[in-house]
Chain A
């Protein structure tokens, strides 16, 4: 299946003072695909997102949304985008519904029925007429999602969307995003610090560091087939597995082998035949966190500048 790029970021650069904050970023986001955006603090995530939605002006390069340039045709391109930038700030002295009504008026063709529908989807129908100042952070996040979805966007940009949601809320949120990506073909771009959350939510992950895109991976690719076999004696197990042609790595009380599922029964038979005592055979998954830290070289904050 050829993937249709809804968003194209081309040679995006931002220089503030004489500091290059974003260096020549290129990235395509596809229809129906959820892309995670990861990077250490100060790597340029928020700056990139702000340039994508027209809050900041790129020094160089362009962002194309469904064939229209954000820089050249702001109104034409942005009407296809739903945005949450950091915390969704609403007018606190108005009710949630009034806020949505206010924002809906700035889009073409958002009906009152559509507002009610979105309110129902985010599960806020019982509190929507209360003032936003009485909402919890999680409820504000939901309202933030609602305002981003009002105009049925083709592309959704979310900056830290699960901040403040409870575990049930996060799960609901994830299922909902995956649903609109699959069913409506919405391209979704999510930046988050919650790596485990990104891993569960996204199809693809882009990693940025010091203003440069250092890696783009499919999540399935990250989870290449690996098995952990815990058995004794270790030397014997090592010999048998290497002898059978499996690439092996010593790990904890056993070995990690790179292998497809179909070869595992054979490997077990070999080990049993050689007289090894098997305690556990299980699929092994390296967490995104360890890969992320490996790629970005630990936790230091990129050389200081604005956030």
Chain B
């Protein structure tokens, strides 16, 4: 079952990159701008953004960083990574993390619920191991599985990128707040994937809680995936209300602080981490409380 999920993930990555390659080869040639033009466009774009009123500190910092990187490239003649290169594909892997979420949710929803539906729960709970320990081992398994899926995703993008695009020219640069620095594409990819992992973590924990409370994996999977797709949309409905700042899906994607697409102006990374921690604790308390006290009658 879990191996099928891993294989599915690899398959999706390969077919995804294959399609990208094919689209690229049929696309118009003159879309192929050189990196100098791109850097110039970046500077113009960020300058326009900075002129807008009501930007939060995080956003200002981001755009200033973008300008600094682009200027640094032009001054020192450092080209950016080509889009059609293995390195850029690996850096962009985090955009495929919703597949990991999807698969992790399925596993998280079922890991406790299936023990109830198979009836094996009573075999498990009549061992000399306290219930909270059993639940903890289940939860750790889910986290490890999600990490494994993420690493598989990175590895298979690298492999597929190598096969379809090969190693390309260019150097990734980052803005660390005061100066521009070179970085490796692996580090960059891992950083982005780790930030995106917050979303995988939260939604799997939510599914885990539902599976534990309702003992039905289909309900837990359905509800979690439904929320995963509609949760972000709801941020836009709620954006004019104060409550949006305490809403889970405003904060699940931490890459927003890294790539400037901040959902709600005014939120910061530390605020998001605080809100996520609070949700996490609530999910955990509910899971452990119901699992620890439940009378097993199945």
Instruction: Name A residues whose Cβ lies closer than 8 Å to a Cβ of B.
Output: 50, 53-57, 74-76, 78-79, 81, 83, 85-92, 103, 106-108, 147, 306-307
Contact = CB atoms under 8 A, between A and B. Distances in A.
A92 B118 contact: yes
Contacts of B119: 87, 89
B5 to A, nearest CB: 15
B123 A55 contact: no
Interface string B275-298: 000000000000000000101110
Given A89-B118, A90-B123, A91-B118, A56 B128 contact: no
A75 B296 contact: no
Contact of A103 (B118, B123, B293, B295): B123
Given A89-B120, A91-B120, A78 B295 contact: no
A92 B115 CA distance: 12
A89 B123 contact: yes
Contacts of B129: 75, 106
A54 B125 contact: yes
Interface in B212-229: none
Contact of B126 (A76, A83, A92, A108): A83
B130 to A, nearest CB: 6
A164 B296 CA distance: 24
A56 B296 CA distance: 6
Given A89-B120, A91-B120, A78 B127 contact: yes
What secondary structure prevails in chain B residues at the interface with A? loop
B292 to A, nearest CB: 10
A83 to B, nearest CB: 4
Nearest to B133: A75
Contacts of A50: 295-297
Contacts of A92: 118
Contacts, number: 57
A103 B120 CA distance: 11
A53 B126 CA distance: 6
A146 to B, nearest CB: 12
A260 to B, nearest CB: 46
B140 to A, nearest CB: 15
B141 to A, nearest CB: 13
A90 B119 CA distance: 8
Contacts of A83: 122, 126
Contacts of A86: 122
> By CB atoms of chain A within 10 A, which of B122, B125, B296 has the most?
B122
Contacts of A307: 297
A89 B118 CA distance: 7
The 5 closest A-B pairs by CB, nearest first: A89-B119, A79-B128, A106-B127, A55-B296, A83-B126
A106 B296 contact: no
A50 to B, nearest CB: 7
Nearest to A57: B295
Contact of A75 (B124, B130, B295, B297): B130
A286 B267 CA distance: 82
Interface string B43-82: 0000000000000000000000000000000000000000
B123 A78 contact: no
B188 to A, nearest CB: 40
A154 B127 CA distance: 14
Contact of B122 (A55, A74, A76, A106): A55
Given A86-B122, A87-B119, 16 more contacts: A55-B125, A74-B130, A75-B128, A78-B128, A79-B128, A81-B126, A83-B126, A85-B126, A89-B122, A90-B123, A91-B120, A106-B124, A106-B127, A106-B129, A147-B123, A307-B297
Nearest to B125: A55
> By CB atoms of chain A within 10 A, which of B118, B120, B128, B129 has the most?
B128
Contacts of B122: 55, 83, 85-86, 89
Contacts of A87: 119
A74 B293 contact: no
A164 to B, nearest CB: 15
A193 B293 CA distance: 30
Contacts of A81: 126
A307 B293 CA distance: 19
A43 B293 CA distance: 24
B295 to A, nearest CB: 4
Contacts of B297: 50, 55-56, 306-307
Nearest to B124: A106
Nearest to B119: A89
20 contacts: A50-B295, A50-B297, A53-B126, A54-B126, A55-B295, A55-B297, A56-B295, A74-B130, A75-B128, A75-B129, A75-B130, A87-B119, A89-B118, A91-B120, A103-B123, A103-B127, A106-B127, A106-B129, A147-B123, A306-B297
A268 to B, nearest CB: 56
A108 B129 CA distance: 10
Contacts of A74: 128, 130
A256 B123 CA distance: 49
